Structure 1
Amino acid sequence: MSEVRRVLDADAKLGEGVLWDAAREVVWFVDIKRHRLWHYDPATGSNSFSEAPGQIGWAIPAEGGALLCGLQNGLYTFDPSGNQFQKLADVPGEPAANRLNDACTDPWGRVWFGSMDDSENKASGRFYVFDRGDIRPAGPSGIKITNGPAISHSGDRIYFTDTTGQKIMVADLSSSGVGEARPFADTGALFPDAFPDGPVVDAEDHIWTGLYLGGKVARFTPDGKLDIAIDIPARDVTKMAFGGEDFKTAYVTSATKNMEPADMEKYPAAGSLFAFEAPVAGFAQTRAKLG
């Protein structure tokens, strides 16, 4: 495993949703609070951001070349060639004060995502699945800050994160649906001052999570035991993704929205996109099926 390096100074207020686009060989991530959808090309170092029409929680490559994006007021498609966002669907029953926060795809091309109270005060967040145009509740509800979900390499498990509750849950998953969520890891017992943020699963079916206020990413075994923790030069670490030709380059997003000037002096690289060579590989994410 190599040293953690800063690959892009994004000055992100709330960097999130990092993901490797294998077809384009670029990294996508968002800055939720600045309404930015970033792309970064590791081969050339080129990068740019597009202005989203609202707070954008995630962007996932979809079949046909578009990205499927979760914004505060629903799902959008984004055309990278035309740099255009287009509203696709509302999320039925979502409170106006909520926003969408994190997402992933499963092996069948369904998109799993969560919502949360934008003020982070009410437990109004829950999880959903977007299944070829149909959006329905699926997974835990009554959560202040949802993160994930994340899908196992084998596709038989789905992980849900309750960030303020400092816990990760797991449920059985199949092509026909999702089972009841059960406890997986109590991150508060291991990192009492940190909060589990975005999760991702590697090719060995271990789950990694960013640790907000913890300055680390942590890896857990399939039975919920802490395996390793890696220091990141940012206090508020949000999410990790595996990328590169061999899926062994880990990309990590970070945030600055809750940091004071003294915190920024201690973590001057906060808000950046980081990378390191991981001890294990990840795997390619399925493209979202829009219809």
Structure 2
Amino acid sequence: MVTETLAESICDVGATLGEGPIWVERDAALWFVDIKAPSVYRFDPETGTLDSWDAPDQVGWVIPADDGSFLAGVRGGLHRFDPATGAFEHLVAVHPETPGNRLNDAARDPMGRVWFGTMDNAEFDRTGHVYHWHEGALTKTDVPPVAITNGPAISPDGRTLYTVDTLGKTITAHPVHADGSLGDSRVFLTVGPDDGHPDGAICDSEGGVWVGFFGGWSARRYAPDGSLTDIVRFPVANITKIALGGSDGRTAYATTAAKGLDDVARAAQPLAGNLFTFRVAIPGVPVEPVTL
């Protein structure tokens, strides 16, 4: 049986391309980005306060670091972002041979590795690769390149990596070995022609995979065997990614996008680009800080 839920707008953001939501326990707040602004946001659900910081270039995601700062995926490389000062410090370049690429999405695994992907900013050439970064070392994986990488999502035990080929409308599962190398992959999900494009993905504490659908008016949860368990409907078309947080880990937050909407569609979707929320049955996995 598939559970159906409705999401509600919780914060007026109006993001062109909201992305990368992540619940940060030390702040009891949700952090996310608007890639195209480019900006980093912090939403406090207790007060409803929305704070923002300008980024130096298109920013795909932030992940908390153990010194109180954040690791940020900014076009061209990884940065240390300090919200106390608003400063971005460049740490390492990512594939400088493809200046038309940008960083798109990321996840931290239980070993402290940060997995992330790049993509063609023009959304055409298959120049997007999947990487992992750990304790200063950057590794390019052998996941085949695609135009738009999304996810990656990590199973709770860290043994499975899910990568999303947004334009190819497929999600692939990869075994993760102890050294961070990947085993033989398998297709986890093929998305139907009327379901939109799979965007950001995360795993909950039971290994379920939540996926936002760009142009699909929904977020969906799939069991580890690939069967559909939940559909959450939205009053906007472009759902980019969700995060699970709150005091019990069962409050979902979803970023959305106004990108690609013409004047008619924008008028019909006045909440496009806002932050949304809904409740879930299975809690998320707390995101531990990374070491910079």
Whether TM exceeds 0.5 here: the answer is yes
Distance 1:139 1:272 in 2: 35
Displacement, 1:192?
3.0
Contact 1:221 1:227 in 2 (8 A): yes
Distance 1:148 1:89 in 2: 21
Contact 1:75 1:90 in 2 (8 A): yes
Match of 2:10 among 4, 7, 23: 7
Displacement, 1:203?
1.2
Structure 2 residue identity aligned to 1:109:
G
Unmatched runs of 5 consecutive residues or more in structure 1: none
**SS, match of residue 224 in structure 2:** coil
Displacement, 1:40?
0.3
Displacement, 1:218?
0.6
Partner of residue 258, structure 2: 256
Match of 2:198 among 196, 199, 213: 196
Distance 2:96 2:147 in 1: 16
Partner of residue 232, structure 1: 234
**SS, match of residue 176 in structure 2:** strand
Structure 2 residue identity aligned to 1:261:
D
Provide, for residues 163-218 of structure 1, a one-character-per-residue CA deviation record: whole Å limited to 9, x for no partner. 0000000011243122233211001x3x5350000001111111010000001001
Match of 2:79 among 70, 73, 76: 76
Displacement, 1:139?
4.5
For normalisation by structure 2, the TM-score amounts to 0.95
Partner of residue 163, structure 1: 166
Contact 2:40 2:54 in 1 (8 A): yes
Unmatched runs of 5 consecutive residues or more in structure 2: none
Match of 2:115 among 112, 116, 119: 112
Partner of residue 273, structure 1: 275
Match of 1:180 among 175, 181, 184: 184
Match of 2:25 among 22, 27, 32: 22
Distance 1:129 1:175 in 2: 13
**SS, match of residue 265 in structure 1:** helix
Structure 2 residue identity aligned to 1:97:
G
Contact 1:139 1:180 in 2 (8 A): no
Distance 1:106 1:283 in 2: 10
Structure 1 residue identity aligned to 2:257:
A
Provide, for residues 228-252 of structure 1, a one-character-per-residue CA deviation record: whole Å limited to 9, x for no partner. 2110121111000001011100000
Partner of residue 287, structure 2: 285
1:83-122 aligned at under 5 Å gives the runs 83-122=86-125
1:148-159 aligned at under 5 Å gives the runs 148-159=151-162
Partner of residue 222, structure 2: 220
**SS, match of residue 144 in structure 2:** strand
Structure 2 residue identity aligned to 1:257:
K
Distance 1:285 1:179 in 2: 24
Distance 1:226 1:274 in 2: 21
Percent of pairs identical after alignment? 38
Partner of residue 135, structure 1: 138
**SS, match of residue 263 in structure 1:** helix
Provide, for residues 93-132 of structure 1, a one-character-per-residue CA deviation record: whole Å limited to 9, x for no partner. 5401000000000001110000000000101001000011
Structure 1 vs Structure 2 CA RMSD: 1.4
Distance 1:174 1:93 in 2: 28
Higher deviation after alignment, 262-271 or 215-224: 262-271
For normalisation by structure 1, the TM-score amounts to 0.95
Structure 2 residue identity aligned to 1:259:
L
Structure 1 residue identity aligned to 2:88:
F
Distance 1:76 1:124 in 2: 21
Higher deviation after alignment, 167-176 or 61-70: 167-176
Match of 1:145 among 133, 140, 148: 148
Contact 1:215 1:232 in 2 (8 A): yes
Distance 1:134 1:14 in 2: 29
